[in-house]
Chain A
Amino acid sequence: MADKQAATDKKSNLLLDIRNLRIEGTVYPPGEPPKNIVIVHDVSLTLERGKVLGLIGESGAGKSTIGLSSMAYGRGGVRITGGEVILNGRDILKGGKQGLRKLRGHEVCYVAQSAAAAFNPAHRLMEQVVEATLLHGRATRAEAEKRAVKLFKALSLPDPEHIGERFPHQVSGGQLQRVMTAMALCSQPDLIVFDEPTTALDVTTQIDVLAAIKNAIRETGVAALYITHDLAVVAQVSDEIMVLRHGRLVEWGGTRQIIKEPRQEYTNALVSVHEIDHQEKKPGATPFLSVKNVTAAYGGGKVKVLKNVSVDIFPGQTLAVVGESGSGKSTLARAVTGLLPPEQGSITFDGRPLANKLADRPKEDLRQLQMIYQMADVAMNPRQTVATIIGRPLEFYFGMRGRERDARVAELLDKIEMGKGFGDRYPAELSGGQKQRVCIARSLAAKPKLIICDEVTSALDPLVANGILKLLLELQAEENVAYLFITHDLATVKSIADSIAVMYRGEVVRYGPKSEVLKPPFDAYTDLLLSSVPEMEMGWLEKAIKNRRMESAGN
């Protein structure tokens, strides 16, 4: 704090000044010689002491790369090839390895997206939290641990006196994220780089972590670069926002200006994303798939993950299943597909009972139920071309061969708005959104009645995800296919669902047509879920925390 005061007195309030930063990397495209690409094109930014700058953009925008350049760190072998990074009045790129080691963990600290992966599983939390502080001689062990406990308290971690004695696997994801924030604050740095610190968390947990981070920033007066792809999140914590795209600056301004009066078209697209106006369809007379009182468990009946769940799906409609991680929504999908045979209850399909076990189901039943996954790139064989991948169900279910199959593949590629030219490509040559489109085409090739979509847009950037949702809605209108849409994202639910089932700890707590489920009065959990979705509104966070009726499960 004292240094900070002194610096202010020196009239130089500037902490970080990045000038014409250029970052390059080497890519290894399949079948071609490695080539150099520019990841960040001459980006400049400045950050004053105690201020928070949000860096926002889609994946590949270079936001993490720019954030890490403030520690002169190139992840995955990328190189800073031009420009200056001036921190506390000196160009850190000229400081050499020794200089960088003195700066990292001392002047600048880093909070990673996945704290669960960023903590060493072999050491206790306290050991890791005070490590940098001790390394840089910022305090004795006793002082550092005292400070850590104080930070744990400030970040409202449970049992702050003893949580440091735990190992990372003994603490939940949301708590770990806060411990990591404490770790960054412990050595009293001037700057913290937050790299998507809440992206991997459930909405209900995200709001707590976000509030904790915001408080900690305010109380310690540390400056921060806050990196995220979620504009609503960054609007809660930042003083200024910088929008990036393809490694170039798009727009930079005050938070209010960016979210209220964006000057660039791209910023406007980011701000207004998620707005699909989906008219709810009324449920038909008879559902074609009906899940009745299903109870399912793992570990030979020991861990009950589904308790007495009943839902119906009508032809050509979408049932959205929402809930946080561990609520049993993916398990419901596994029960419907037969991957996890239910212990009790039944699933009827087209008026007849569906065999519990996958192995007992006839091929026709398998064809009628298709699935799309969250991670499109691991759901495809990397050594098969797109045409082979989409053609496989045509051969398997319909025995199509040769020209007939190729024609159908071309038709399907057309449907997912990808040209014929994509047929010869390999999955590695596609973007994330294109990969997911191929997975959609593959499931559609079987002409199913139901497609189970398990978090299919969660790994995608908002604009790309939006395109996928629009495509799914169009395909539903054309093919009259029903979706069982599993997601944790309520904005997605509003865009696509006809009916909604809200799940909490293995039970369906609220179920009905979309308009009824989303109409007050809410039960406590649905209220928490709905009120936790960040809104693109300054001051939303404080309001939401104040009006909450129920503690989130992460606490």
Chain B
Amino acid sequence: MSSPILKLVAQRVALGILLLLAVSVLIFAGTQVLPGDVAQSILGQAATPESLANLRAELGLNDPAYIRYFRWLGGVLTGDLGTALSSGQDIATSISGRLWNTLFLAFCAALISVPLAILLGLLAVRYRNGWVDKLISGLALASTSFPEFFIGYLLVYFFAVQWQIFPGISTVYDGMPFLERMQAIALPAAALTLVVLAQMMRMTRAAILNVMQSAYVETAELKGLSAFSIIRKHALPNAVAPIINVVMLNLAYLIVGVVVVEVIFVYPGMGQYLVDHVTKRDVPVVQAVGLIFAAVYITLNIVADIASIVANPRLRHPK
């Protein structure tokens, strides 16, 4: 029964791995094209030509590009992301804590924003073209139209400075009590929620409205079902695929696009780390973070694909 689904899922996963490999080549090639020389940046402008040559040989920089690529890829696959040039620290070690912080923030923001967006979308459909619909759409669009740094500062101004409910700087550390941690990330999570809410809500609304034209919605109406049960029971299950796709895109954004918000709230996540090292031209770190972000993006999109496939009864229950 599930064999066509298994096949599709296997296909998507294989395709995802292939895509990730292609991205790794692109990232590697991109950083090779960038001007500058790793040995030079380690030793500084004052280095002698001999010491530069020695270091190049030591780092293997004289090998052809493809050999260096496979060396790097081999390292990545075994969990060795290399060493940061600027600090000399192991990248994998310094990333792991930050990646977890970013994922935690994204997870909390998703936990609020996804159900809220879908619920608001349902309400907008229920009272379509009425004032409830217009209010929901208007507020959601307004919150998306503001740039995230502006929202961030507004939140800080009101909640941290004026009313002093939440901290304006989201310091977190290992072993922090859960509630304190939640309080620390409240404002960045709220900012992220406001940024991603509108798109998911509008898509939910549009996808369900599209389905509301169907003959089976009329059938439900002629059975005497209430407006909200029609939307929930008959329209929503058939609008799942487009909703899943836009939700996943926004989840990916919550992880990958979190840079600005993390900087505003000085949150020790991947975004902060990336920005710090981009300014220092720390190529190995940029490569590692780029690859992780790409992996997150591709994984979430595969999940979206698979979820929309599974949501289709024609594929779940073939003839």
Contact = CB atoms under 8 A, between A and B. Distances in A.
B313 A132 contact: no
Interface string A109-134: 11010100111111100001001100
A73 B313 contact: no
B222 A104 contact: yes
B223 A131 contact: yes
Contact of B224 (A122, A123, A135): A135
Nearest to B215: A117
Output the residue of B218, B219, B220, B234 with the most chain A CB within 10 A: B219
A101 B224 contact: yes
A75 interface: yes
B225 A135 contact: yes
Contact of B313 (A110, A136, A167): A167
A169 B314 contact: yes
B79 interface: no
Interface in B212-248: 214-216, 218-226, 234, 237-238
A120 B319 contact: no
Given A118-B215, A120-B238, A73 B220 contact: no
A102 B219 contact: no
A169 B237 contact: no
A73 B221 CA distance: 9
Interface string A156-187: 00000000001101100000000000000000
A169 B313 contact: yes
Contacts of A170: 317, 319
Contacts of B215: 112, 114, 117-118
Contacts of B226: 101
Output the residue of A100, A102, A114, A169 with the most chain B CB within 10 A: A169
Contacts of B238: 120-122
Contacts of A136: 224
A118 B218 contact: yes
Given A112-B215, A122-B238, A103 B224 contact: yes
A71 interface: yes
Contact of A122 (B219, B221, B237): B237
A57 interface: no
B221 A104 contact: yes
Contacts of A328: none
Contacts of B223: 104-105, 109, 131-132, 135
B224 A132 contact: yes
A117 B222 CA distance: 14
Contact of A120 (B220, B314, B317): B220
Interface residues on A, range: 20 to 34
B219 A118 contact: yes
Output the residue of B223, B234, B238, B317 with the most chain A CB within 10 A: B223
Interface in A12-59: none
A23 B214 CA distance: 23
Nearest to A180: B219
A106 interface: yes
B218 A122 contact: no
A108 B319 CA distance: 33
A289 to B, nearest CB: 37
A443 to B, nearest CB: 33
Interface string A88-103: 0000000000001111
Nearest to A105: B223
A435 B237 CA distance: 38
A32 B226 CA distance: 36
Contacts of A103: 224
Contacts, number: 72
A119 B225 CA distance: 15
A435 B314 CA distance: 36
Nearest to A104: B224
Contact of A105 (B216, B222, B234): B222
Contacts of B220: 120, 131
A73 B222 contact: yes
B218 A75 contact: yes
A102 B319 contact: no
A123 B237 contact: yes
Contacts of B216: 117-121
A541 to B, nearest CB: 27
A105 B224 CA distance: 6
A106 B231 CA distance: 21
A104 B220 CA distance: 10
Nearest to B316: A167
A308 B218 CA distance: 44
Nearest to A170: B319
A145 B207 CA distance: 32
A370 B234 CA distance: 43
Contacts of A135: 223-225
Contacts of B317: 166-167, 169-170
A103 B224 CA distance: 7
A105 B221 CA distance: 9
Contacts of A110: 219, 222
Contacts of B221: 73, 104
A121 B314 contact: yes
A173 to B, nearest CB: 13
Output the residue of B216, B234, B238 with the most chain A CB within 10 A: B216
A166 B234 CA distance: 17
B291 to A, nearest CB: 39
A254 B94 CA distance: 89
Nearest to B313: A167
A102 B224 contact: yes
A104 B319 CA distance: 32
B318 to A, nearest CB: 8
Output the residue of B234, B313, B317 with the most chain A CB within 10 A: B313
B224 A117 contact: no
Contacts of B219: 110, 112, 118-120, 128
Interface string B98-137: 0000000000000000000000000000000000000000
Contacts of A169: 313-314, 317, 319
Contacts of B224: 100-106, 132, 135-136
Output the residue of A102, A105, A110, A122 with the most chain B CB within 10 A: A122
A114 B219 CA distance: 11
Interface in A477-506: none
A380 to B, nearest CB: 23
A467 B299 CA distance: 60
A474 B234 CA distance: 51
A132 B223 CA distance: 5
Contacts of A75: 218
Contacts of A132: 223-224
A228 B317 CA distance: 34
A398 to B, nearest CB: 43
A490 to B, nearest CB: 29
Interface in B295-313: 313
Contacts of B313: 121-122, 167, 169
A166 B1 CA distance: 13
13 contacts: A110-B219, A112-B215, A117-B214, A118-B215, A119-B219, A120-B234, A121-B313, A122-B237, A128-B219, A132-B224, A135-B223, A135-B225, A170-B317
Interface of B: 214-216, 218-226, 234, 237-238, 313-314, 317, 319
Interface of A: 71, 73, 75, 100-106, 109-110, 112, 114, 117-123, 128, 131-132, 135-136, 166-167, 169-170
Per CB-CB distance, the 10 closest pairs between chain A and chain B, nearest first, are A105-B223, A122-B237, A104-B224, A117-B215, A132-B223, A105-B224, A120-B216, A101-B224, A110-B222, A118-B219
Given A71-B222, A114-B215, 8 more contacts: A101-B226, A102-B224, A110-B219, A118-B219, A120-B220, A120-B234, A123-B237, A169-B317
